[in-house]
Chain A
Amino acid sequence: MVKHGNARPTPLYDTHLALGARMIEFSGWHMPIQYSGILAEHRCVRENVGIFDLSHMGEFDVQGPGARAFLQELLTNNLDRAHPGKALYSALCNESGGVIDDLLVYQRADDDYLVVVNASNIEKDFEWFQQHCVDGVALANRSYEVALIAVQGPQASAVVTPAVTRPTDDLYYYEFRPDEIAGRPVTLARTGYTGEDGFEVYVRNDGAQAVWDTLWKLGEPLGMRPVGLGARDTLRLEMGYALYGNELDETVNPIEAGLGWVVSAKKAFIGSDVILPLKKGGTPKTLRGLKLQGKGVPRRHCPVKAEGKQVGEVTSGTVSPTLSEPIALALIEAEAVKEPLSIEIRGRDVPASLADVPFVPSNVYRRPRPA
């Protein structure tokens, strides 16, 4: 039975049901929130390998002789840091310096880019792109034509490498290339939102099932599990990665949200006149990691207090499945932060302390630095 309502299914909807997924409606898509359970799926990614359907994400083609200059104008990060086969993480900001979205831009060529945006912002972002479009730029919204499957975890390469046409040892973190799985053309990227080694495979909708089935056949004997949006969230939170809607929104600037590292001071872009002085001089508020020293689950909007006075708010919180302790990201007034801190959870002040982010180590497949 396919319940459509107003939400659309991904090409893998039936597969999720067959695997026993609990489905939810997320930004207009029917998505699996979990299969065997969030904690089990999370741990499987950290210790082994998991497979995700992320077809809800948005994909835009930005092409033409004017494409590079257009993206330099809109994005905070600098394409000088990219080259063909390289992806960049960036913020997209408005004139007031507020974050419209966070996204990835994959440079296929000097005049050809794939921009991948959050599902919740597909239409908003595309409209923004169209509003600011100039001659020499061709835009196409491929979000409803392109599927995305991710394989993440220490065993990701054991699953993906046999499925593609050549070795992946020299495909490092944030690099990508065109490839083929089950005879279908794919974009194979060494990217992810988990902090583990992994791949993201972009394929046209009509190839999604064949790609999933091929990866499943290779991964299932290794103990690969399907992983839903629930564990996707706990995995990214352990890494301190921002989630649009929690750490990021149009009322927040990228500097205070911890994205200063993807803001280039070497060019002008929409919002740069507000943002670059903040990058230089600092912001009143700052995003910090917190750990609880007591029992409870910190959740979004829980007040953060120093000496009994509110100094900020939790943007994301959970119990870390890896650490088995409560963790949170919070936007707090930098000046007012004096430990001991506390987080107010359902009327109770629970002691908390500042924590380094990421909360768990990163294992992404980095290009080795020359000696």
Chain B
Amino acid sequence: MEFPEELRYSTSHEWVRTSGAKAVCGITDYAQHELSDIVYVELPDVGREVEAGEACAVIESVKIASDIYAPVSGKVTKINMQLDAAPETVNADPYRAGWLFEIEMTDPAEADGLMNAEEYKAHTEVETH
């Protein structure tokens, strides 16, 4: 199970990679493993304003549909169009090719309030028990 050091994590299993005010977001290795076979990804419209904690995407696996929550507030500026034809990329490479959307953060410091890799790893261990 991967927990890249340079990322920040939400309690609902999203990750954030920041550079300046830009935040690339996706779901964690833990989350993709829980979901298993992802067959469809519904991404937010580019231009949509989101609040941290707001449901803004849906990932469907064979068995179930899961809401994905914006880990930070801002405007959606980019979405990963590759997932349309290859949703299983999220399973195969959740932190890189499987990124979901990019947000232009209203407050660039907001990501600092999320968990670091160690805290998130501990969080997943609590959830399992």
**A318 touches which of B62, B84, B88 (Cβ 8 Å):** B62
Tell me which of A34-42, A185-193, A268-276, A308-316 binds B.
A34-42
**CA of A326 to CA of B42, assembled, Å:** 14
Is the C-beta of A230 less than 8 angstroms from some C-beta in chain B?
yes
Q: Which of A330-346 contact B (CB under 8 A)?
A: 346
Q: Is the CB of A297 within 8 A of B65?
A: yes
Q: Which of B36, B40, B62, B63 has the most CB of A within 10 A?
A: B62
* B37 neighbours in A (Cβ, 8 Å): 37-39
* B39 neighbours in A (Cβ, 8 Å): 39, 297, 318-319
Q: Known: A295-B40, A297-B40. Is A38-B58 also a contact (CB below 8 A)?
A: no
Is the C-beta of B60 less than 8 angstroms from some C-beta in chain A?
yes
Interface residues of A (CB under 8 A from B): 22, 33-34, 37-39, 230, 234, 295-297, 299, 318-319, 321, 326, 346
**CA of A158 to CA of B75, assembled, Å:** 57
* B63 neighbours in A (Cβ, 8 Å): 33, 38, 230
Q: Is the CB of A38 within 8 A of B65?
A: no
Q: Count CB-based A-B contacts (< 8 Å).
A: 37
Main secondary structure of the interface of A (DSSP, over half): mixed
* B58 neighbours in A (Cβ, 8 Å): 346
Shortest CB–CB separation between residue A141 and chain B, in angstroms?
31
Q: Is the CB of B62 within 8 A of A296?
A: no
Question: What is the 8 Å Cβ interface bit string for chain B, positions 39-72, against chain A (1 contact, 0 not)?
Answer: 1101000000000000000101011010000000
Shortest CB–CB separation between residue B55 and chain A, in angstroms?
11
Q: Is the CB of B36 within 8 A of A319?
A: no
Q: List 27 A-B contacts (CB under 8 A).
A: A22-B36, A34-B36, A37-B36, A37-B37, A38-B36, A38-B37, A38-B62, A38-B63, A39-B37, A39-B39, A230-B62, A230-B63, A234-B62, A295-B40, A295-B42, A295-B84, A296-B40, A296-B42, A297-B39, A299-B65, A319-B39, A319-B40, A319-B62, A321-B62, A326-B40, A346-B58, A346-B65
